Amino acid sequence: MTRPARRTSSLGTAHPAAPSPIESVPAPATPPTEAPTKKSEPAPEGGKKKRANTATFYVDPEIVARARGAYRYTQGPEGYRSFSDFIVRALEAETARVEAKYNDGRPFDALEAGTLSPGPQAN
């Protein structure tokens, strides 16, 4: 009886524990597309994407804790991308509500950052 021929390793002369050289990965034929968003906005003038502004304000810690919980437990079914996305949607909803109630559904005139006086407002 003859022995079968010895198989050659696909590793060649490389040691099995040695890192393999990095192979270049060809670029995909078509660039990946972004997932569709719920709200399409027209591109700003000049074709540049608008950068999001930051906002700083004081909020009762209990309200923030409730908001974090609402975000965490509903981010999947509601599709929130981040806590910021959750907050932006809440701001949009409340803004739309008061515009509908006090301005016949039309947007109020936009105000630039720094135009509101800080602190509690006297009535």
pLDDT in tens, 15-49: 555 555 555 445 455 444 444 444 444 455 556 66
* CB burial string 14-34: b at 16+ within 10 A, e below: eeeeeeeeeeeeeeeeeeeee
Would residue 91 count as lying in a domain? Answer: yes
Would residue 116 count as lying in a domain? Answer: no
* CB burial string 52-71: b at 16+ within 10 A, e below: eeeeeeeeeeeeeeeeeeeb
Q: How many domains does the chain have?
A: 1
Are 78 and 58 a contacting pair, CB within 8 Å? Answer: no
Distance CA 50, CA 41 (A): 11
Would residue 81 count as lying in a domain? Answer: yes
pLDDT of residue 40: 42
| DSSP label at residue 78 | H
Would residue 76 count as lying in a domain? Answer: yes
Are 53 and 113 a contacting pair, CB within 8 Å? Answer: yes
Would residue 62 count as lying in a domain? Answer: yes
- Name the packing angle between helices 83-102 and 61-78 (round to 10°): 100
Would residue 120 count as lying in a domain? Answer: no
Would residue 63 count as lying in a domain? Answer: yes
Q: Per-residue pLDDT tens for 59-104?
A: 999 999 999 999 999 999 999 999 999 999 999 999 999 999 999 9
Would residue 70 count as lying in a domain? Answer: yes
Say what the pTM is. Answer: 0.55
**Domain housing 73:** 55-102
